[in-house]
Amino acid sequence: MTILTTARLRLEPFNQSHLDGLQAMNSDPQVMRYITGRAETREETLASIARVKARWDEWLFSWWVFIERDSHQIIGAGCIQHLGRDAANPLEIGWRLRQDKWHQGFASEAAQEMARFAFETFGVGTLCAVCHPDNKASEKVMQRLGMQFRAIEHWYDADMLTYAMTRADWDGRPALPGRAHGKDDGSA
Ligand SMILES: CC(C)(COP(=O)(O)OP(=O)(O)OC[C@H]1O[C@@H](n2cnc3c(N)ncnc32)[C@H](O)[C@@H]1OP(=O)(O)O)[C@@H](O)C(=O)NCCC(=O)NCCS
C-alpha cells in the first residue's frame, strides 16, 4: 500500500482509523450531491473502508484519504480504480474534498500526485475521469490536470462527462503555475 505526499498533503490508503474523518465528509449531502445524491451513513463508510482495503491488497491501488499536513486532519479522499469497480474496465482517477476545503487547490494537488503514481509507478497507459455533467468543479480539476474531454459515456448508471489522459499527454503536460510538481519542482 503506497503513501503519497505533496506540498500540503499526505495521501494514506484507507484504514480503520480514517472512519471518523471520512464519515464527517461523506455525511455532507453537498459533498455527495453529484455522487450518490445523499449523505453516506456510518455503516456505509465502514463498509467502504473494508472494500477499499481488499482492493489495495488485490490491485495495489485504490482510495487514499487526503490528510492536511499542517492540521493532520482528513480533508478529502481520492482514488485510482477501475471504472465501475470492474477490473475489465479502464482506470479512473477521482477526488472529493470536505466542503470547507474547496477552492484552495487541494484536489488538483492530490490529483497530480495520484496521476503521477498511476503513470510513473504503475505504467498505466490511459487514465479516465468521469463526473455528472453539472459538476463543473470536478470537470475543472480534470482540465487542470491536463485531461481531454472524450465523450458523454454511461458509467455508474448515469450519463457522465468522460475525460481521458494518456501517458503521452502526461509526459507532455505543460508546467502550470500552482501545480504541485513533487520531485520535478526543482527543489532539493
Ligand atoms: C470536485 C471538488 C473536489 C473540486 O474542488 P475544488 O476546490 O474546486 O478544486 P481544487 O481543490 O483543485 O481547487 C481549485 C480552486 O482553487 C483555486 N486555487 C487556490 N489555490 C490553488 C493552488 N495552489 N493550486 C490550484 N488551484 C488553487 C483555483 O483557482 C480554483 O478556484 P475555483 O474554485 O474558483 O475555480 C469539490 O468540488 C468536491 O469535493 N465536490 C464534491 C465531491 C465531488 O463531486 N467529487 C467529484 C466527483 S466526480
Q: Which three cell numbers stand for residue 131?
A: 463526473
- Tell me 172's DSSP state: T
CA of 46 to the centre of ligand 1 (A): 26
Under 8 Å CB-to-CB from 126, ≥6 apart: which residues? 90, 91, 164, 165, 166, 167
Ligand 1 atom at minimum distance from 179 CA:
24
CA of 140 to the centre of ligand 1 (A): 8
Q: What is the pLDDT of residue 126?
A: 97
Q: What is the pLDDT of residue 99?
A: 98
Which residue ranges have their beta carbon within 6 Å of ligand 1?
A: 31, 34-35, 94-97, 102-108, 131, 135, 137-138, 140-141, 178
Whole-model pTM: value is 0.93
CATH topology (fold) of 4-174: Aminopeptidase (3.40.630)
Q: What is the pLDDT of residue 176?
A: 61
pLDDT tens string, the chain, 188 residues long: the values are 899 999 999 999 999 999 999 999 999 999 999 999 999 999 999 999 999 999 999 999 999 999 999 999 999 999 999 999 899 999 999 999 999 999 999 999 999 999 999 999 999 999 999 999 999 999 999 999 999 999 999 999 999 999 999 999 999 988 765 554 444 443 34
C-alpha dist (Å) from residue 186 to 107, 144, 175: 22, 21, 12
Q: What is the pLDDT of residue 177?
A: 58
Domain ranges of the chain: 4-174
Q: What is the pLDDT of residue 169?
A: 96
Q: What are phi and psi of 29, to 5 degrees?
A: -60, -25
